[in-house]
Structures are given as C-alpha cells and as structure tokens.
Amino acid sequence: MITVVCVYWGDKFPIAYLENLRSMIKRNTTVEHKFVVLTDRHRKGFDCRILKPGFTGWWNKLQLFDTFHKLGDRCFYFDLDTVITSDLDWLFKYDGDFLGIEDVGSVNSHQPHLKNVLQSAVMSWTPMVGASIWNEFILRKDWAVKSFRGDGEYLHASVPKYQRELLQKKYPGKLKSYKYQIYNKGLDKDTSIVCFHGRPSIIQAMDETVVTPMQTFEPQNWIKDYWR
C-alpha cells in the first residue's frame, strides 16, 4: 500500500485544506492508500505523525524524509494548496527513486532560469532515498537553513540529478500552475493536478478579486466543483 502524506502546522491554512485534500485524493484514485498528516498537534479523524520540535516554517517539510515517522515503502506528497481535478492512478504507479516538480515559474518566458529547477509541491520517494536526504540535512542543518531559501531550493541542490525526475517532464500536461497556465486558458481534460502558489490562494480564487503585479484574477466558480 502506498502512503499519501501532507504537512500541516500552525494556522496559515484552515482545516478545510486538510479535509479537502484527503477527499480529493480519495475520489480520484482506485489505488489502495493511507493518508497521513505530519502535524504539530493531533487532528481529530486523521492518521497523524507529530513533527519533531526545532524546525521552523517550511523546514518542517524535510521531516517527510525522516524514517522515524514510518511512512511506508512508497510515499507521495502534496502541498495543501493543491486542487486535484481528475484521476491520479497514473501518478500512484510511479516507482522511481525520487519525483518532484519543475518550478511552476518555468513556463514563463521571462523566467528561463527556472527550467529544470526542482521544487517540492508534489513529490514521491522511497525510504532509502528519503533517509539519505534526511541524514545529510541533519548533519548540516544550521548551514542549510542559513544558505537556502526553503526546502525546495535545498532539495534542488542536494538530490542528485541522476536520482531525480521532474513530474512535468515525465508526465506532460498532468500538472499545471493555476496562475500561469489555467486561469487564462481554462481547465483542460488532461490536467489532474493544479498548483496554487502565492496569490490567489484556493479560497481567494473562488471568492475574491485579487490584484497582483502580474494581472487581476477574478473569482472562478468551477474550482468549487473540485475543492471539496
């Protein structure tokens, strides 16, 4: 059985993000799985693993790779600000060493430096690879926290290129950015995973007009059909 896992701490995200992620995954796969939450406190109704103290913000996310949490032989991770729109069985058949996503900004012509840059919004890994990532991080934790702007940048630098794959390249068209690829063109039948990053958030995208330096985003009712 595979493990689908997310990380939930603090109060940035309402509990609906956790509940909806679990239900979206359940609706969109026939693959047997367990849903686990790495969290700072027990959440009623969820299979929880309590985060170890001493980590702040996104650095908690690297605890995904700590075998102390006994997540299983094949893990799949999703950021909370993710909307699942169709079948995920294709993803849950992945059996390589490590899968991450290419930085979603790489689709912009003015950000060519983000092409082939690993990010961590969706990932899959084996315990052996996870243990290697965790052990290396713990050995130089203080240096890593000072040297990198978050877990994604650290993973890009530390996971060997020969050992990692990028989801958008292995499964073209399956994952897209809401801001950069979905909002202007609409949701297409090939997309299974929509990444929300920055503004608008999922809740904002459904209910608010959000003005950013890039453009103005008007509410999109179709999101409510999936984020539930």
- At residue 112, the pLDDT reads 86
In a domain, 58, yes or no: yes
How confident is the model over 134-167, as pLDDT tens digits?
Answer: 999 999 999 999 999 999 999 999 999 999 999 9
In a domain, 200, yes or no: no
In a domain, 192, yes or no: no
Structural domain including 30 reads 2-175
- At residue 37, the pLDDT reads 98
d(CA 84, CA 193): 5
- At residue 148, the pLDDT reads 97
- At residue 197, the pLDDT reads 93
In a domain, 6, yes or no: yes
In a domain, 205, yes or no: no
In a domain, 204, yes or no: no
Ranges assigned E (strand) in the chain: 2-8, 33-39, 47-50, 75-78, 82-84, 98-102, 118-125, 164-166, 175-177, 193-195, 210-211, 216-217
Task: Kindly state the average pLDDT of the residues 53-63.
Answer: 95
CATH label of the domain that carries residue 44 = 3.90.550.10
pTM value is 0.97
In a domain, 222, yes or no: no
* Confidence bin at 221 (pLDDT 50/70/90): very high
Q: Write phi, then psi, for 171 (nearest 5 degrees).
A: -130, 75
Number of domains the chain contains: 1
How confident is the model over 6-36, as pLDDT tens digits?
Answer: 999 999 999 999 999 999 999 999 999 999 9
Degrees to nearest 5, angle at CA 156 with 150 and 157: 95
Degrees to nearest 5, angle at CA 69 with 78 and 97: 55
Residue 111 confidence (pLDDT) above 90? no
In a domain, 208, yes or no: no
Task: Report the candidate in 188, 192, 215, 210 with the shortest Cα–Cα distance to residue 200.
Answer: 210
d(CA 218, CA 204): 9
- At residue 17, the pLDDT reads 98
